[in-house]
């Protein structure tokens, strides 16, 4: 199973949708080529073949466009793993997320949203929405683990999700290291162990 | 024991040192009052009572000044906890670090360095230096834990430090939540458990 968390996710048809797709593609291409500081609404509009007034009217700034693209990703439903064990479910969730974050396009958008969220409320809200959706999905995984006797009844799904993701996000944004599938497996093992020990209540 | 990780750390005496102290104090006051985007070398020099040419010559940009202040903090020697148990040592380390990060002045500088490190090599290098010092300190804690039979011999001190810090940094910069001493204690408990289980090798 792959979490469908991609910048190229399909959108409803129509002219507005085609414009959004072209602008999203132009944005990610620009981010990879010239970076956040090097791009502009004008450049993105030209690249997308869209009138720049259209882009200005709809998004106003590159920052708002990035936040909108990220919010589109965050709002997508993702399947919840169901492998029969909490560690297996967490491993699958971790592997899917790390696979997505290793894609240069996703990473470029993620980097900007995380950097902007430190001081910009719109970016902060976009990240909050993303995690609220993940925590709500994880509640099912934790419920099943409790039913199987793998986790104490008072386990907090939000704490499980924070714990599993924390190591790779810290690698990405604090210690500045690459992330691999081995990090996913370790994060799942540590989180399952801590859950069983009743540390994530 | 308190980790000596403060913006007001003493510096060698002399005029250059007094200038650096005044500029550092002015920088943090500005960050708290008007934020990174709102301040400038001119404002900081005026506030510090220092000629702006002096500040321009020594630091050039507000970004470089922030990185320098942070590097000064990162370069300080910090005492290594020695409580008699790995969990105790990690708890003390975690509590000291969180106490420092809860100080508005330290947090303001940390926020900017983390945000800038995403795209700026100088900020990235400053964070790297900070963690290299922490990992080198932690090596002693892990050696003692191995000697006491609390940790497998192949435990990786770098992995222990990444693990213990990851939860509070993820709260600060990913899920955007407050950090408390309860988070310190939980991070220490999870990390000690994972170390004993041989997951941080």
**Cβ–Cβ below 8 Å for A115 and B111:** no
State whether B84 and B135 are in the same domain.
yes
What CATH number is attached to the domain comprising B160?
1.10.357.10
> Residue A173 pLDDT more than 90?
yes
Contacts A–B by Cβ distance under 8 A: 103
Taking residues B68-87, what's their average pLDDT?
85
How many whole angstroms separate alpha carbon B94 and alpha carbon B98?
Answer: 6
State whether B167 and B108 are in the same domain.
yes
Q: Is residue B148 part of a domain?
A: yes
Q: What range does the domain containing A144 cover? A: 74-196
The chain B residue lying nearest A163, using CA atoms, is B167
With beta carbons under 8 A apart, name residues in chain B contacting A36: 119
Nearest to B100, CA basis, from B32, B35, B7: B7
At CB < 8 Å, which residues of chain A contact B?
35-37, 111-112, 114-115, 117-119, 124, 127-128, 131, 162-163, 165-167, 169-171, 173-176, 186, 189-190, 193-194, 197, 199
State whether B131 and B181 are in the same domain.
yes
The chain A residue lying nearest B124, using CA atoms, is A176
State whether B51 and B133 are in the same domain.
no
State whether B90 and B50 are in the same domain.
no
What CATH number is attached to the domain comprising B28?
1.10.10.60
Q: Is residue A17 part of a domain?
A: no
Q: Is residue A67 part of a domain?
A: no
State whether B80 and B175 are in the same domain.
yes
Q: Is residue B68 part of a domain?
A: no
Q: Is residue B91 part of a domain?
A: yes
State whether B79 and B53 are in the same domain.
no
Q: Which ranges of chain B would DSSP assign to H, the alpha helix?
A: 15-38, 41-48, 52-59, 62-74, 86-101, 104-117, 121-147, 157-173, 181-196
Taking residues A157-166, what's their average pLDDT?
93
> How distant, in Å, are the alpha carbons of A97, A173, B49, B162 from that of A176?
17, 5, 37, 11
Q: Is residue A115 part of a domain?
A: yes
The chain A residue lying nearest B132, using CA atoms, is A175
Q: Is residue A152 part of a domain?
A: yes
State whether B35 and B83 are in the same domain.
no
State whether B100 and B182 are in the same domain.
yes
**pLDDT tens-digit readout, A20-65:** 889 999 999 999 999 888 999 999 999 999 999 999 999 999 988 9
Task: Tell me which residue in B119, B124, B167 faces A166 most closely, judged by beta carbons.
Answer: B167
| Number of domains composing chain A | 1
Band the pLDDT of A15: cuts 50, 70, 90: confident
Enter the tokens of residue A152: 């104490």
**Cβ–Cβ below 8 Å for B175 and A127:** yes
Q: How many C-beta neighbours within 10 Å does residue B64 have?
A: 15
How many whole angstroms separate alpha carbon A115 and alpha carbon A70?
Answer: 13
Query: What is the predicted pLDDT for the residue at B2?
Result: 36
**pLDDT tens-digit readout, B130-172:** 888 888 888 899 999 999 999 999 999 999 999 999 999 999 9
Task: Tell me which residue in B111, B175, B194 faces A162 most closely, judged by beta carbons.
Answer: B175
ipTM: 0.86
Q: Is residue A11 part of a domain?
A: no
Distance from CA of A163 to the nearest CA of B (A): 6
State whether B96 and B147 are in the same domain.
yes
State whether B98 and B26 are in the same domain.
no
**Cβ–Cβ below 8 Å for A174 and B174:** no
């Amino acid at each position: 199973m792959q979490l469908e968390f991609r910048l190229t996710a399909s959108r409803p048809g129509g002219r507005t949708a085609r414009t959004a797709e072209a602008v999203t593609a132009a944005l990610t291409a620009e981010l990879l080529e010239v970076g956040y500081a090097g791009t502009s609404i004008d450049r993105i509009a030209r690249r997308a073949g869209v009138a720049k007034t259209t882009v200005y009217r709809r998004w106003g700034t590159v920052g708002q466009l990035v936040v909108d693209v990220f919010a589109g990703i965050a709002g997508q439903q993702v399947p919840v793993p169901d492998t029969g064990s909490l560690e297996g479910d967490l491993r699958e969730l971790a592997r899917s997320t790390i696979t997505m974050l290793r894609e240069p396009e996703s990473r470029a958008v993620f980097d900007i949203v995380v950097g902007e969220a430190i001081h910009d409320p719109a970016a902060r809200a976009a990240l909050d929405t993303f995690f609220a959706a993940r925590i709500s999905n994880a509640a099912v995984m934790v419920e099943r683990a409790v039913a199987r006797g793998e986790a104490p009844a008072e386990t907090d799904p939000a704490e499980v999700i924070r714990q599993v993701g924390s190591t790779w996000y810290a690698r990405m944004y604090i210690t500045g290291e690459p992330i691999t599938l081995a990090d996913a497996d370790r994060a799942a093992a540590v989180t399952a162990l801590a859950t069983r020990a009743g540390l994530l209540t």
